[in-house]
Structure 1
Amino acid sequence: MRLYNFFRNSAGYRVRAVLNLKNIPYEHVSIDIRPPVEAQFSEEFRKVNPLALIPALEHDGKIITQSSAIIEYLEELFPEPSVFPKDAVLRAQSRAFAASVAAETHALLNMRVFKFLDKELALPQAHRDKWYAHWAHKGFSALESMLRNGPDTQFAYADYPTVADIFLVPQYYNLRRIKMDLSAYPRLGEIVARCEALPAFQKAAPEAQPDYDDR
């Protein structure tokens, strides 16, 4: 099993966590998405994913793209330990939470968006910072509210990590890395701390990857 990803790629971070939680061995194939390298646009990688996006999972000669689809695929192949709650309602809610992270926060705060704001719209740094803070806090406020009204569990929707936690941790990591004040989200912080205490998440962290650097 081969995972095309990059240490600072949030979606790849999600998949690494699932692979580790399920104890699935894999090969890490680094795709440096930072300018000026931008290896995702290479002809070689476009053969893997024509959309030029990571992560991509190669298994038995087949390619699966999009982190949510990869995670569902891994769950079907390796159902234990599960990364979904057992209860049907909580399972749906955990999927909704994960989708909210991906669609309402990550999608607005990723490298492609900021490249467009910078290169195409020529937004000043102050305006880009305002964009980032607005969508980050709007998204995290909703996520905090979802969990405040959620079940009394050790993690988001179960007493073990599920897709909700797996999608939350990389996004929280990104905001913490740029020193954003996250004190208004105590439930999110509590869950992230529990996840980061687990070896599976520690092994999935950017700093633990073979292609890590501090640039």
Structure 2
Amino acid sequence: MAIFVDAPIWPAHGRRWAHLICDTGFAELHAFAASQEIPARAFDGDHYDVPAESISRLLSAGATQVSTRDMVRILRDSKLRSMRPRSAKPGYASRRIAVGAGIVLAAAQGAGQQPPERAALSELGFAALAVGKSLGDVVARAESSRPALDSVVVVGAFEPAPALAQLQAVSSDFRLADGGFASLDGRTRLRHRDGAEIIGRVHWPALRE
């Protein structure tokens, strides 16, 4: 069994975080995490999120420090990255990457506009709908969604059609053939070509500050 940890470069909740993985299987990874008193809620699909202050202790316990690039390669070569089991993560309803649709309706409310129907969003693969009067409001609502969301695609809606069109564009670019999403996870933060803001969990606290 080989346990690996990368550098703590990921900011969240006022701290820096690293990833802890194993190249032989999740059972071994969970056993090591338990021996180091890492809580089960820190497991995120194919790795544990661990704070910077725990790195020296994990290295003393036998973990090997590698670069983030090498960590991705190790996960890919071990065939564990694509599995991403989420059953150990509280709030997840399935093993799929869960992405929510977020719509800022501040400008539309005066005209009495309504967001797209949930059924239409479900057909596009979105697991939840979060509506608010600002970006921070939408993100706060998305964070409390169940199932828990990896990312939220936020659009500003003046009327339903443009919002749905933006969400369709994102869905077209990132959905897999079987309907799941690809390349969107808790580290995501990007602006889609059609104007949608795609935001992962790790970025949500900053938007509420």
Relative contact order higher in (CA < 8 Å, ≥ 6 apart): 1
Given the two structures, how large is their TM-score scaled by the length of structure 1? 0.28
Q: Rg: which structure is higher? A: 2
Structure with the larger strand share: 2
